[in-house]
């Protein structure tokens, strides 16, 4: 039990570190709180709550991993390097993908409940994101 409590204290310390040092994590946490409050007010069903929770946790987990990647890269290679920049960009891309997923989930669940939007509005956002990836990547070259 002692090892578990020590491991838990390290995990909590890391959680507080990312919250206290990462502006985006704070913003994402505020959105998460808002989403949970809205889910409570709208009396969402179990499935909807699980989708909202999955979307929120994906963003927060990947933001934490992105912070880990950035810190490790800064430690390993403190001076600018193009490959380090690419590695950091890939971590940020993972967060962006998760954030897009969370937007689709929010549109489907909250948009359906509040504005009576059809689920296809979420699909439109997903398609727009895919199109952006395809055509945006061609513009960069």
Question: Which single residue is written with the structure tokens 């709180």?
Answer: 33
3-class secondary structure, 108: helix
**Helix locations, the chain, DSSP H:** 2-21, 23-41, 46-76, 82-106, 112-114, 120-140
Q: Which residues are annotated as a binding site for substrate?
A: 63
Cβ contacts of 76 within 8 Å, gap of 6 or more: 84
Query: What is the DSSP track for 44-72?
Result: --HHHHHHHHHHHHHHHHHHHHHHHHHHH
Annotated binding-site ranges: 63, 70, 88-89
Residue 28, helix vs strand vs coil: helix
- The catalytic residue positions are 63
Annotated binding site for a divalent metal cation: 70
């Amino acid at each position: 039990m002692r090892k578990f409590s020590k491991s838990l204290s390290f995990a909590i310390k890391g959680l507080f570190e990312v919250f206290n040092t990462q502006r985006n994590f704070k913003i994402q946490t505020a959105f998460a709180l808002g989403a949970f409050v809205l889910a409570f007010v709208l009396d969402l069903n179990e499935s909807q709550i699980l989708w909202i929770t999955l979307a929120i946790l994906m963003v927060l987990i990947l933001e934490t991993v992105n912070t880990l990647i950035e810190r490790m890269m800064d430690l390993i290679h403190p001076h600018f390097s193009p490959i380090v920049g690419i590695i950091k960009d890939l971590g940020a891309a993972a967060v962006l993908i998760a954030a897009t997923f969370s937007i689709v989930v929010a549109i489907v669940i909250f948009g359906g409940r509040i504005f009576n939007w059809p689920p296809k509005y979420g699909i439109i956002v997903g398609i727009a994101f895919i199109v952006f990836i395809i055509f945006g990547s061609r513009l960069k070259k």
